[in-house]
Structure formats: structure tokens, C-alpha cells
Amino acid sequence: MNDFLVDAYPWLKALHIVAVIAWMAGLLYLPRLYVYHAQVPARSNRAAMLAVMERRLLRGIMWPALVMVYGFGAALAVTPEMAWQWQRYWIWTKLGLVALLTAYHLMLAYWRRGFAAGRYPHGARFYRFVNEVPTILMIAIVLLAVAKPF
């Protein structure tokens, strides 16, 4: 089993990175759709079109990508290459930031339900600001994962 995990490590890592890219694409694009959605009248044709786009992005890309991020990440966590990393702080900091990204994802899903129901919880300016959150977290996560500074 140990040899299998050693051989699988680069494949698991590659699949994890692909899943992260797909998830991040959604985390960056969905709030941009909310900016547009907040600028159109509720129950208009454009609002309906945006609601469909938001639902498809969340259900078709973001949720499956999130499941794959966690699945491949968990598989990586039990590989021999990671065994000695669990005593270092960078991995725990990274996982904490991933938890924040997950909370952000859940908040985006919550707001989508509001938009779908014709309720606009915030204005376009709010979503423009919120759109920067995943970028900042992503930069920190990548720096931790690559540099392993502490």
C-alpha cells in the first residue's frame, strides 16, 4: 500500500491542483455575476438569465470541484511525502485558509438563493469588494504550499 501511495503522489497532486483551479474559477466568477445581477431589476429577463448562470456555475462546477479539492487533498494528506509535514505550522495555516475559502463558498451559495428568490441582499459595490477575498486567500495558500515557510 505504501508503494502505491508513493507512486500515486504526483497524480494526486496534479488532480488536486486541477480541482483547485476549477474551484477558484468559480469563486472568482460567481461574485462577478452577482455584481451584474445586483444591477438589474428583480424578476427581469436578464435577472432570470443570471440566476440560471449562477445556479449552473455553483452546481455544475463549484460544488463538484470543492468535493474533488477535499477528496484529492485528503488522499494527499495520507501519503508518505506528507507524513513529516503535519508537525509544521504552514500546513495548519493553509488548512485554516482553505476553511475560510469554504466558508466563502457557502456564503456565495446562500446569496445565490436570495438572488434566485428575487431578493438582492447587497448592492453591486459590495460584491465587487467581496470578489477580492478569494484572490487574497489563494495567494496566501499558494505561498504556504510552495514555500512551506514555517
- Measure the CA angle with vertex 23, ends 93 and 77; round to 5°: 45
pTM above 0.85? Answer: yes
How many CA atoms are closer than 13 Å to the CA of 145, on its beta-carbon side? 18
- Over pLDDT 90: what percentage of the chain? 87
Determine contact, residues 38/120, Cβ cutoff 8 Å.
yes
Residue ranges and CATH numbers for the domains of the chain are 2-147 (1.20.120)
Determine contact, residues 82/5, Cβ cutoff 8 Å.
no
H helical segments located in 39-132: 45-57, 63-77, 89-116, 124-130
List pLDDT tens digits, range 86-138: 999 999 999 999 999 999 999 999 999 999 999 888 999 999 999 999 999 99
Query: pLDDT confidence of 82, banded at 50, 70, 90?
Result: confident
Whether the pLDDT of residue 5 is over 90: the answer is: no
